[in-house]
């Protein structure tokens, strides 16, 4: 684990928010949110095990599950991407990046905030798992059976579900530039991870021009660029 990195801010006060940042993970979007809000923070970086790609055991000292993202804010520890987003908006957002309560935009915001992990990520994660099954070093007599099962699950279950979801996302961006409505919100930050995962795996194509445009506009935001510089190399390809 590398030492902490303190983001450069004009405030004379030391940063009170620490992001425990695992490389190539969901914690990148929390870093992006911190940059969008302009909050002082520090980064503690954690490298994945090069063989298993698991988080290192040091993260268990921060949270019992040893996963990222997780933040500490004084004596408060918050894990889970959606919970962290809501905590930061409640505690430090000042009304930014979240539509007003009781509006249609707020209802959409809440939906997409939870959709990202509740619906979008599970089939993408399963697709990654079955891709690992195909490439796993197995005995020669087991390998064709494992690959056949993986291919069957992918063709009959995973890809139909992923393609259905991508069609849905594409349609939801019709008539509005951002997922909650006319304004960029933290729901777009939350949705970035599954859309980036789909893009990295070649699942976005000519059928998804709005999604591709939305992702390009996300990546063009100055705060996203600053988060990328602060967090170090970031890839969804593996």
Mean pLDDT (the chain) is 89
Report the 3 state secondary structure along 115-137.
HHHHHHHHHHHHHHHHHHHHHCC
Token pair of 54, please? 């698991």
| Contact criterion met (CB below 8 Å) for 99 and 181 | yes
Of the candidates 40, 54, 43, 51, which has an alpha carbon nearest to the alpha carbon of residue 20?
Answer: 43
Any residues with CB less than 8 A from the CB of 167 and at least 6 apart, and which? Answer: 207
pLDDT tens track for 85-128: 999 999 999 999 999 999 999 999 999 999 999 999 999 988 98
* Nearest-5° Cα angle at 126, 124 to 131: 95
- Check: CB of residue 34 under 8 Å from CB of residue 227: yes
Distance CA 59, CA 205 (A): 37
pLDDT band at 236 (very low <50, low <70, confident <90, very high): low
Q: Is 144 exposed, middle or buried (0-12, 13-18, 19+ CB in 10 A)?
A: exposed
pLDDT higher than 80, residue 223: yes
Given this model, what pLDDT does residue 2 score?
A: 40
What per-residue confidence (pLDDT) applies to 205?
96
Mean pLDDT, range 67-81, rounded to an integer: 94
Helix, strand, or coil here: 1? coil
Q: Is the pLDDT of residue 6 over 50?
A: no
Closest CA to 232 of 53, 31, 59, 62: 31
Q: Render pLDDT for 103-113 as a digit per residue (tens, 0 to 9).
A: 999 999 999 99
More confident call, 149 vs 34: 34
3-state class of 80 per DSSP?
Answer: coil
Whole-number pLDDT of residue 237:
53
pLDDT in tens, 32-59: 999 999 999 999 988 888 887 778 888 8
Distance CA 55, CA 186 (A): 25
> Which of 132, 126, 113 is CA-nearest to residue 197?
126
Element spanning 56, H or E? none
Predicted local confidence at residue 15, as pLDDT: 54
pTM above 0.95, yes or no: no
| β-strand pairing of 17-22 with 41-46 | parallel
Residue 40, pLDDT score: 95
Pairing of strands 70-73, 76-79: antiparallel
Give the largest CA-CA distance in the chain: 65
Alpha carbon distance 191, 177 (integer Å): 14
Q: What's the confidence (pLDDT) of residue 189?
A: 98
- Both tokens assigned to 55: 């988080």
pLDDT band at 183 (very low <50, low <70, confident <90, very high): very high
């Amino acid at each position: 684990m590398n030492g902490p990195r303190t983001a450069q801010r004009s405030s004379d006060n030391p940063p009170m928010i620490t992001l425990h940042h695992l490389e190539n993970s969901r914690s990148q979007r929390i870093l992006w949110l911190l940059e969008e809000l302009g909050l002082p923070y520090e980064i503690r970086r954690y490298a994945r095990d090069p063989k298993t790609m698991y988080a290192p055991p040091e993260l268990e000292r921060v949270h019992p599950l040893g996963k990222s993202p997780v933040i500490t804010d004084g004596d408060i520890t918050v894990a889970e991407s959606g919970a962290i987003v809501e905590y930061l908006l409640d505690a430090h957002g000042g009304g930014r990046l979240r539509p007003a309560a009781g509006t249609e935009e707020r209802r959409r915001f809440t939906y997409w905030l939870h959709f990202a992990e509740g619906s979008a990520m599970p089939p993408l994660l399963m697709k990654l798992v079955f891709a690992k099954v195909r490439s796993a070093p197995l005995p020669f007599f087991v390998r064709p059976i494992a690959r056949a099962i993986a291919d069957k699950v992918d063709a009959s279950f995973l890809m139909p579900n992923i393609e259905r979801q991508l069609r849905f996302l594409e349609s939801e961006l019709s008539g509005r530039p951002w997922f909650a409505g006319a304004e960029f919100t933290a729901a777009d930050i939350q949705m970035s991870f599954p859309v980036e995962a789909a893009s990295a795996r070649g699942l976005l194509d000519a059928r998804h021009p709005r999604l591709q445009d939305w992702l390009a506009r996300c990546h063009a935001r100055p705060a996203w660029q600053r988060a990328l510089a602060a967090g170090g190399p970031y890839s969804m390809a593996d």
